[in-house]
Structure 1
Amino acid sequence: MATRAHCLVLAYPSQGHINPILQFSKLLQQQGVRITLVTTRFYYNNLKTMHPSIAVETISDGFDNGGPKEAGGFKAYLARFWQVGPLTFSELLEKLDGSKHVDCVVYDTFFNWAPEVAKRFGIVVAAYLTQNMVVNSIYYHVHLGKLQVPLKEHEFSLPAMPKLYLEDMPSFFFVEDFTYLDFLVSQFSSIDKADWILCNTFYELDKEIADWIVKVWPQFKTIGPNIPSFFLDKQRKDDQDYGVTEFKIEECMEWLDDKPKGSVVYVSFGSLASFGEEQMEEVACCLRECSSYFLWVVRASEETKLPKDFEKKTEKGLVVTWCSQLKVLAHEAVGCFVTHCGWNSTLETLCLGVPTVAIPYWSDQSINAKLLSEVWKVGTRALVDEKKVVQRETLQHCINEIMDGSKEMKNNAIRWRTSAVRAVAEGGSSYENIKEFVNNLSHS
């Protein structure tokens, strides 16, 4: 590139959104693009670390001191953010116009107002989808009016997708207040204004729907999996974490080092899922009674839900408030991942070849659980009872199915890991799409 293109990357202020879009930013950097990450003032002020090579600018969500909690609810937060955000983003673009001229805005599609603001400054725009294409397609069909809310059918046949049943659909279809659903659907209200539409998946994983969607959006490209590259190709030792975190503590790697290969069940339900005390007790009792070792991540805010007699550190098990999930999944001692099936966790377990037990909690996680268990066949889904609780016996059966057998799941997990590595290797589908994006960017 004769001159370094400058990309402004507008990230939605939550860990699950910032991690992948920041990783994509690092890939652009490696291709010679200059990156400035943009997030809210509140989120930035509460970070413990930030990737040293990434410049940062901030906008306001209207709650600079307290963030979403200050708003008192998602609807109030969104209303204020969508009023203040476009104004402060516009002020930022005006400030940067000149010596730090912006060539492109890569925006999280949750910010449906971003394309209009960027286009006013004559800046080209790339939409970045953080969820997988099955989930995106569901919300897109609601946007088109082809999927009616509230849902009245029990099964759904959408183009280029597996047959879906009512229990597979995102949780936001089944609540009285459709604020979250409307918000997720609204990301497609302005997506046609984007010059590129990028998705954090890889072609081999979503080929049928990717082939269908490119007929609708010719500017669509798969550019994932956006996880730290060391865990894919082992080449860049300096790229072993996302580079932005709200946490610093890690205490489990030495504990794992002492355990035999494939002997540990890793349990983590992400940064937002909040199970009830009964479900936490069933998980705890299962792990205590299970024959395998276990490593369980329980956020500090959730620790009070553990049974009072449950020991957090024994020879058999360790409970921590946080860990580097990628490093844990990459450790040879880990043989199974009990997960809530957030998309980032789903991609990570696929990329590292670890079979899964799915316990979805909300949002898109039921879809991801279906894909893991029925389509990609790398795990099993733990079924809930009439109280929506996974009983200890059910969970133990699922864990044993993976730890004590199921060569098919383990072989499939290895196969998908190989596909993920190939996608980002030189000549791979995602590698070539990123390269094409950067080449077009330098000439735009």
Structure 2
Amino acid sequence: MATPATETRRASKSNGRSGDTGPHVLLVPYPAQGHMLPLLDLGALLAARGLAVTVAVTSGNAPLVEPLAAAFPSSVAILALPFPEDTPLLPAGILAGENTKDLPCHLFRPFMASLAALRPPLLAWCRAPQQQGGHRRRVTAVVSDFFTGWTQPLAAELGVPHVTFSPSCALHLAMSHALWRHMPSRRLPDEPVTFPDIPGGPTFPWRHLSWMFRQHVAGDAVSEAIRQFFLWNLESEYFVTNTFAALEAAYVERPLADLATKRVFAVGPLSDVAATSTSATGDRGGRHAVAAASVSTWLDTFPSGSVVYVSFGSQHALSPPQAATVADALAASSAAFVWAARPGTSIPDGFEAATASRGMVIRGWAPQVEILRHRAVGWFLTHCGWNSVLEAAAAGVAMLTWPMAADQFTDARMLEEAGVAVPVAEGADAVPDARKMASAIAAAVGTKDGESVRARAVALGVKAAAAVGEGGSSRRDLDELVQMLREVVV
């Protein structure tokens, strides 16, 4: 049986407003780690600037969000809604945690479509009298992840602005909008798809487009629901992206030719500017300080820029052949490394002993931000998930790219064009040649060409820091966004 929505809040101290007159932003994240954390960072920043914020999640996600909210300003509330019962799109009993981390990949799309059933109870909550911080306060704006576009008609029913948040780069946001509007036909894997509405008219092979789009089937209920979410996003008043202008100015300033009037706020890297920031893995309570110190002490023994950090994120598990390839490449490269191996990764027997003098394998959680920011780390072998990309860019670390899915191909191409990355593989099922990967790693850490890439990465890190600093582009965009959200209060 469904349980009523519950709300937790600390007494508001920061905004000094009373009654129903102050701005109150409803934040609706998509329940996936790479989506939730940056939007929560944005929520913390809005609250720190005096806006009341309510984060709406399902009951199963509340335990994940509440510990993160401990460091939030006091004007942040958590609203827990029961997950829709008896959804016809998902097998019974599959949603133990109501989060993509608990789902097999083939259920991601129906899971996304099922979340739209939260709209009626969320609308009812918004319309009901709510005692918030001792005062009645209505929702004055809705900010939601671009996978939860069903919140746009909710905002319209409330008569308040809707803001679409992209946890991906601005280029991927523009590509998504173009794809769902124009619906290019299915093609062979290497056939090109051109985006004439995007600055520069970029072209990508069909296989590099998001699987979310490539799996679309006309007339299928899940497919049509997802398309509608993205079409609704296009009706938003504003877009917010977790990026910074120096990295992708063209796509921020004019993301789509015929939507040039839509304001895009580039406020990233959010993990650098938000007070609650720590690692990409979501541990933000300092519980792993000892582990971070241990890794740092080990890294202290290596020269600056000589260590390769290896991580493929929390969502994708390397197959045994892929793990063996990475191990063989690291062993043959002679480079020092830290490998953060996802649980279940099959590390070949004898590998750790053979590379103990120059290598460290971490199973499970790793202090990614601290590792990337250590002076000894110069390169990052990565799947190109956007949060990881931003953390490396902010740290001034060059990248060896192995994009596997979603927006990662777009991210990898952007990094290569910026001159801060070298491709080593692509595809979720690819098993690269270990010798070629070893050569790429060795060249990265031991040649002048590698030094040039690193120098550009260091320069990009300086630009990222400037963007979030006083007077920087991301700081200005954030302040302008806050001002606009204040102005909508009547």
TM-score, length basis structure 1: 0.87
Q: Which residue of 1 aligns with 2:98?
A: 67
The residue type equivalent to 2:120 in the other structure is L
User: Is 1:113 aligned to residue 146 of structure 2?
Assistant: no
In the TM superposition, residue 360 of structure 1 has moved relative to its aligned partner by 0.9
- Counterpart of 2:203 (choices 146, 164, 170) is 164
- Counterpart of 1:131 (choices 129, 153, 168) is 168
The residue type equivalent to 1:266 in the other structure is Y
Structure 1: 5+ residue runs without aligned partners?
none
Q: Which residue of 2 aligns with 1:81?
A: 115
Provide the secondary structure at the position in 2 that maps to 1:32: coil
Is the Cα–Cα contact under 8 Å of residues 281 and 307 in structure 1 kept in the other structure?
Answer: yes
User: Is 1:309 aligned to residue 309 of structure 2?
Assistant: no
- Counterpart of 1:193 (choices 220, 235, 247) is 235
RMSD: 3.2
Distance across 1 between alignment mates of 2:227 and 2:443: 37
Q: Which residue of 1 aligns with 2:484?
A: 440
Provide the secondary structure at the position in 2 that maps to 1:190: helix
Is the Cα–Cα contact under 8 Å of residues 148 and 229 in structure 2 kept in the other structure?
Answer: yes
Provide the secondary structure at the position in 2 that maps to 1:149: coil
User: Is 1:323 aligned to residue 341 of structure 2?
Assistant: no
Is the Cα–Cα contact under 8 Å of residues 172 and 181 in structure 1 kept in the other structure?
Answer: no
Q: 1:402 to 1:244 in 2, by over 3 A?
A: closer
In the TM superposition, residue 282 of structure 1 has moved relative to its aligned partner by 0.5
In the TM superposition, residue 408 of structure 1 has moved relative to its aligned partner by 2.2
Is the Cα–Cα contact under 8 Å of residues 23 and 242 in structure 1 kept in the other structure?
Answer: no
In the TM superposition, residue 108 of structure 1 has moved relative to its aligned partner by 0.7
The residue type equivalent to 1:111 in the other structure is T
Output one character per residue of 1:237-256: Cα deviation in whole Å (capped at 9) or x when no partner: x7545795499553533322
In the TM superposition, residue 177 of structure 1 has moved relative to its aligned partner by 6.4
Is the Cα–Cα contact under 8 Å of residues 106 and 125 in structure 1 kept in the other structure?
Answer: yes
Which stretch of structure 1 is more off in the superposition, 101-110 or 418-427?
418-427
User: Is 1:90 aligned to residue 123 of structure 2?
Assistant: yes
The residue type equivalent to 1:424 in the other structure is V
Number of aligned residue pairs: give it.
Answer: 435
Q: 1:222 to 1:279 in 2, by over 3 A?
A: same
Q: 1:255 to 1:96 in 2, by over 3 A?
A: farther
Provide the secondary structure at the position in 2 that maps to 1:332: coil
Is the Cα–Cα contact under 8 Å of residues 143 and 163 in structure 2 kept in the other structure?
Answer: yes
Output one character per residue of 1:286-310: Cα deviation in whole Å (capped at 9) or x when no partner: 122322211111122x23x221333
In the TM superposition, residue 436 of structure 1 has moved relative to its aligned partner by 1.5
Q: 1:161 to 1:306 in 2, by over 3 A?
A: farther
Is the Cα–Cα contact under 8 Å of residues 213 and 220 in structure 1 kept in the other structure?
Answer: no
Q: Which residue of 1 aligns with 2:88?
A: none
Q: 1:402 to 1:154 in 2, by over 3 A?
A: same
Output one character per residue of 1:13-69: Cα deviation in whole Å (capped at 9) or x when no partner: 111001111122222233222222222211223568313224311223337744255
Distance across 2 between alignment mates of 1:27 and 1:384: 35
Structure 2: 5+ residue runs without aligned partners?
1-14, 86-94
In the TM superposition, residue 78 of structure 1 has moved relative to its aligned partner by 3.4
- Counterpart of 1:11 (choices 22, 29, 34) is 29
Distance across 2 between alignment mates of 1:363 and 1:2: 42
Q: Which residue of 2 aligns with 1:261?
A: 304
In the TM superposition, residue 175 of structure 1 has moved relative to its aligned partner by 5.9
Which stretch of structure 1 is more off in the superposition, 94-103 or 257-266?
94-103
Distance across 1 between alignment mates of 2:402 and 2:475: 32
Distance across 1 between alignment mates of 2:151 and 2:66: 27
The residue type equivalent to 2:112 in the other structure is L
Which stretch of structure 1 is more off in the superposition, 143-152 or 271-280?
143-152
Output one character per residue of 1:221-243: Cα deviation in whole Å (capped at 9) or x when no partner: 23331333369xxxx7x754579
The residue type equivalent to 1:367 in the other structure is T
Q: 1:217 to 1:356 in 2, by over 3 A?
A: same
TM-score, length basis structure 2: 0.79
Distance across 2 between alignment mates of 1:358 and 1:77: 29
Distance across 2 between alignment mates of 1:281 and 1:192: 44
User: Is 1:398 aligned to residue 440 of structure 2?
Assistant: yes
In the TM superposition, residue 209 of structure 1 has moved relative to its aligned partner by 2.4
In the TM superposition, 1:329-368 aligns within 5 A as 329-368=372-411
Is the Cα–Cα contact under 8 Å of residues 384 and 391 in structure 1 kept in the other structure?
Answer: no
User: Is 1:411 aligned to residue 455 of structure 2?
Assistant: yes
Provide the secondary structure at the position in 1 that maps to 2:60: helix
- Counterpart of 2:466 (choices 418, 422, 441) is 422
In the TM superposition, residue 122 of structure 1 has moved relative to its aligned partner by 2.6
